[in-house]
Chain A
Amino acid sequence: MARDFFINGPTMVFVKGRTDSTIANLTELGLTDVPVRVRPQFRHRPIKVDAWGDAPPEVQFMLATVEITASLIHFDRDVLDACLRLSMGGVLDTGMLPIAGTRLGNKKPLFHPGSSLVGNHFVQLALSGPISGKPWRFFACYMNTIPMDFPLGVEKSAVVTNWTCIPYDRDLYNGGTGSNALYLWDHGTPS
């Protein structure tokens, strides 16, 4: 690939959730008023050796997560509510709470249907790349700590949504290979 300006193009935010949710198929969430920000968060752990003073002679990669921020300006409110319900533990109604400590994955494959304690409530988040031809697909996401910043007034609301993508897997040992070859994201076309 030659050096050039990188232009992603008009970026649509897509979501897909549990097969028994209202976003069982790939669904448009909306368009943003400012660029979508994708920030991988690498976890590196330095190895300290006394002979090397305070500088690490070696570093270990302890996996990563991704933070995605999308400020939605032209969006489907119902789809946003569906994402909120799933991120809150797969509850039945918007604003409802599940039992404290409810898991999002429940050791089920992605999109597995079921109630709070049974289904897999992770949301697959996808970003189109119409000009660049390099879309993004984040496999296991949820709306994180401050899931949205929702201004209400006479002006159109630009809702800032915050997402976290984690390396979810059902088998944590995988024959001793752990997370080896597990995808956190890829650039495949969402479906």
Chain B
Amino acid sequence: MARDFQIAGPTLVSVRGGMHWASGYLRILSQLGLCQEAIKIEVKNFHRNIGADSTGPGVTVDVMVNSTECEVSMRLIHFDPLVLSCCISDSMGGATLIDPNLANPPGFNNVRDSDLFLGRKPPPGGRLLGNGLPRFASGNYYVGLNLQRADDMNERPWRFFYAYLMQQPIQHKIGVEASVVELKWRAIRYIPLWQSPAPQDFSEANANTNNAPAWVEQLKSIQKPNDTFDTYRMLKEIRTDSYDLPLWDHTTDDDSNPF
């Protein structure tokens, strides 16, 4: 690929959530909206310096890479407030939506298109977003974040597999002008920890099977100067292909049932 200006073109933000949503509303790929300005994608690598006393204090002899995550910032100007509301709920760990107009909340049958920020009951503290479940499973609250564009544009689409609205997720200014909602997404490489029944088989022979845990114990021997050995137990990470999804790729989610 030759060097050239990289022009992405009109970009549509679409999202897809778990099967805990009613038909429509994030259960399928849903258009979130268009942005007022360029969407900012920040890739963050986590590096940790490794030093050795032999080289003196403060000197880095090697660097350890401890995975990567992304932050995606956008300012929505032409958006679907109901889809945004669903994303907010998922990012809160599946907050229960409350609509005072409904006889039996939660539900979406009587919600107006203009409703934004339906009342919510936040879940109790300590709730997980993934809950050890695969992508789009009911109870997995990570959102699939898609940045779509036309096929003939130079830039490919982006798909972040596990994203959520982080920290101060939105800034919503309300007035006579068209509202602009500032969103900040965090995309991580979610790795579910299996809830396999005890006792767990931590042997490597059980790795890469459906019941394999995320971690196995590994014995490691280190020779000491007096020719004896110390044996240490270390944890070695094991993943299976079905959960080993990248942080992002350059395709788009579809509406197919993943189960």
Contact = CB atoms under 8 A, between A and B. Distances in A.
- Do A and B belong to a common assembly? yes
Interface of A: 47, 58, 60, 99-101, 172-178
B205 interface: no
A172 B7 CA distance: 18
14 contacts: A100-B176, A101-B175, A101-B178, A172-B10, A172-B78, A173-B10, A174-B10, A175-B150, A176-B9, A176-B148, A176-B149, A177-B10, A177-B150, A178-B9
A100 B34 CA distance: 24
Interface string B130-153: 000000000000000000111101
Contacts of A99: 176
B259 interface: no
A153 to B, nearest CB: 37
Contacts of A60: 7
A178 B11 CA distance: 9
A173 B34 CA distance: 8
B177 interface: yes
B166 interface: no
Interface in B1-31: 5, 7, 9-10, 12, 31
Nearest to A100: B176
B177 A47 contact: no
A47 B150 contact: no
Interface string B171-200: 000011110000000000000000000000
Contacts of B148: 176
Contacts, number: 30
Q: How large is the interface on B (under 10, 10 to 19, 20 to 34, 35 or more residues)?
A: 10 to 19
B12 A176 contact: yes
A101 B177 contact: yes
Interface in B82-119: none
Contacts of B10: 172-174, 176-178
Contact of A47 (B5, B9, B153): B5
A49 B193 CA distance: 48
Contacts of A178: 9-10
Given A173-B31, A174-B10, A176-B150, 17 more contacts: A47-B5, A60-B7, A100-B176, A101-B176, A101-B177, A101-B178, A172-B10, A173-B12, A173-B34, A175-B150, A176-B9, A176-B149, A176-B153, A177-B10, A177-B150, A178-B9, A178-B10
A174 B152 CA distance: 13
A101 B175 CA distance: 9
Nearest to B175: A101
B47 to A, nearest CB: 28
Nearest to B151: A176
A57 to B, nearest CB: 9
Contacts of A175: 150
Contacts of B78: 172
A177 B148 CA distance: 11
A105 to B, nearest CB: 12
B204 to A, nearest CB: 47
A174 to B, nearest CB: 8
A175 B252 CA distance: 14
B126 to A, nearest CB: 39
Contacts of B177: 101
A3 B177 CA distance: 49
5 closest Cβ pairs, A-B complex: A176-B150, A101-B176, A178-B10, A100-B176, A173-B12
A72 B9 CA distance: 42
A160 to B, nearest CB: 29
Contacts of A174: 10
- Which among A175, A176, A177 has the highest number of chain B CB atoms within 10 Å? A176
Interface in B175-233: 175-178
Contacts of B7: 60
A47 B5 CA distance: 9
Scoring B5, B10, B12, B149 by chain A CB atoms within 10 A of each residue's CB, the highest score goes to B10
Nearest to A173: B12
A175 B14 CA distance: 12
Contacts of B34: 172-173
Contacts of B151: 176
